[in-house]
Structure 1
Amino acid sequence: MKHIASAKNEIVKQWKKLLTKKGRLQTNRFLIEGEHLIEEAVRAGIVKELIVRESYQVPGSWKRNADVFTIDDAVIKVLAETETSQGIFAVCEMKQASAQLERGRYLLLDRLQDPGNVGTMIRTADAAGFDGVVVGPGTVDVYNGKVIRATQGSLFHLPVISMPLEEAVNALHEQGIAVIGTALEGATSYQTIAPMDALGLIIGNEAQGVAPELLSYCDERAYIPIRGKAESLNAAVAAGILLYHFASVD
């Protein structure tokens, strides 16, 4: 166990780089914060370094295969992304999900920008029993701290694959799997589309929706009826409704 008191320490500088997308891609690692997320990451076997305030009693199960560092408040201030930090962090290794889409249910994200939305969608896809999430170009980095916190650990358990969505759609079609895109024009109510044991469900950008070229590849276009006077639904809420509908065949 090593103690680090200075925020200018070279190791701390390396940890701080993990708060940027560039730093994460260069090292294939990312930083998480808080007991719950670390517990989930330990379960997933991806924790490489534990970084905790000096007074914190590290559970024995956390120490397996992980180096432990204790830190002072100055270091906590540099690393914390939350307002009331617990002063507990971990460096984790990114799991490389296979780009091969097996038969199953997949959520496809097209240029989603809000970290909270993306994290909530990953969490809900996990809860609904989907087999994976495909993240297309233009969607916020799933290892962004806000995304990770919104997933509540589902990011560590559910395959999240980065690839062009056109490729993903083609891969699903090659297996005879239908792809459904969310849209307003030329769409039918999701309630008229039967649940499926295998499908691709595309959720589009919060403001622009699914790109027209992607919609042209879809087998069905679905919308959620608005009963009241609200103009629209939040993207993550809409995704939740559709994810559970299409998974209800079980």
Structure 2
Amino acid sequence: MITSVQNDKVKNWKKLQRRKERKNTGTFLIEGYHLVEEAWKSEWTIREIIVQQDVSVPAWCENYQVTVVGENVFQYISETKTPQGIAAIVSFKEQPASIGNFVLLIDAIQDPGNLGTIIRTADAAGFDAIILGNGTVDVFNDKVIRATQGSIFHIPIFQENLEERISILQQEGFSIWATALTNAKPYHTIEKPEKVALVLGNEGAGIKEDIIRQADTIVNIPIYGEAESLNVSVAAGILMYHVKC
């Protein structure tokens, strides 16, 4: 059992709280029974399972390297207020080349809770893939992962240059829908094509002008009350379900 936070292993786990270290190692850390089990069920590669002393683990964990640590060590590597005492080191997964007919493009969304909720909703709505553009919060950020409630393991997620990817999608027959407040048509008045790439923008600045100019259609969600706008994750849910239904 590891009881010292000065242990080299513990130091390496702690480093995974930083995006640079996650990228360098090709791994990330997840916490909690639900997320660890979702990673296992979804057949992502689990490098190691970390368990706090006196915390029980599911039977399937016997197939993996399990490291027991003291409560002080687990608290040290945890990013939650009330950790469940189980965590795992998971490897990045190579995503499939095919992305289906319904794709979500994310332009510089920075709030981890928003991105995680959007990923969870895209999974629920049956979208086929998500492409994250430059300036977007790291998908393997702890807060993002927890907000996805495991959906991060269910839907392919890519990091790409959106302007370049949009051109490719248009060549493949996708209609690009960009969300904006000006020069836009209400989403429910537009005929839904067979292949749609829906673009969502930054919480404050919206979608970059260069990307809006590439769009085939600019859509908005009518506001019937006094609110100025909708939260981006709420808007994402409305539009994704509309496109799929």
Q: Answer yes or no: same fold by TM over 0.5.
A: yes
Tell me the residue number matched to 1:116.
Answer: 113
What secondary structure sits across from 1:134 in the alignment? strand
Q: Which moved more, 1:166-175 or 1:180-189?
A: 166-175
What secondary structure sits across from 2:178 in the alignment? strand
Q: Which moved more, 1:44-53 or 1:181-190?
A: 44-53
- 1:70-120, CA deviations, whole angstroms, 9 ceiling, x for partnerless residues? 11011012111111111211100111224x454411000000010000000
Mapped pair 1:15 → 2:13: yes
Q: TM-score, normalised by structure 1?
A: 0.95
What secondary structure sits across from 2:130 in the alignment? strand
Equivalent runs, 1:1-250 vs 2, <5 Å: 3-46=1-44, 47-64=46-63, 66-98=64-96, 100=97, 102-248=99-245
What secondary structure sits across from 2:103 in the alignment? strand
- One-letter identity of the residue aligned with 1:92: V
CA contact (8 A) 2:173 2:195 kept: no
Whole-angstrom distance in 2 between the partners of 1:61 and 1:170: 45
What secondary structure sits across from 1:142 in the alignment? coil
Q: Which moved more, 1:127-136 or 1:41-50?
A: 41-50
Aligned length, in residue pairs: 244
Whole-angstrom distance in 2 between the partners of 1:168 and 1:85: 39
CA contact (8 A) 2:30 2:89 kept: yes
Q: TM-score, normalised by structure 2?
A: 0.97
Which portions of structure 1, spanning 4 or more consecutive aligned residues, are displaced by more than 4 angstroms? none
What secondary structure sits across from 1:201 in the alignment? strand
Indicate the percent of aligned positions where both proteins have the same amino acid.
Answer: 45
- One-letter identity of the residue aligned with 1:58: V
Whole-angstrom distance in 2 between the partners of 1:87 and 1:59: 13
Superposed CA RMSD in Å reads 1.1
- One-letter identity of the residue aligned with 1:19: Q
User: What are structure 2's unaligned runs of at least 5 residues?
Assistant: none
What secondary structure sits across from 1:233 in the alignment? coil
Give the deviation of 1:198 after TM superposition: 1.6
Whole-angstrom distance in 2 between the partners of 1:157 and 1:38: 13
What secondary structure sits across from 2:37 in the alignment? helix
Q: Which moved more, 1:188-197 or 1:68-77?
A: 188-197
CA contact (8 A) 1:101 1:168 kept: no
CA separation of 1:174 and 1:63: change in aligned 2, threshold 3 A: farther
Give the deviation of 1:44 after TM superposition: 1.7
Whole-angstrom distance in 2 between the partners of 1:237 and 1:102: 23
CA contact (8 A) 1:134 1:161 kept: yes
CA separation of 1:103 and 1:86: change in aligned 2, threshold 3 A: closer
CA contact (8 A) 2:100 2:129 kept: no
- One-letter identity of the residue aligned with 1:33: E
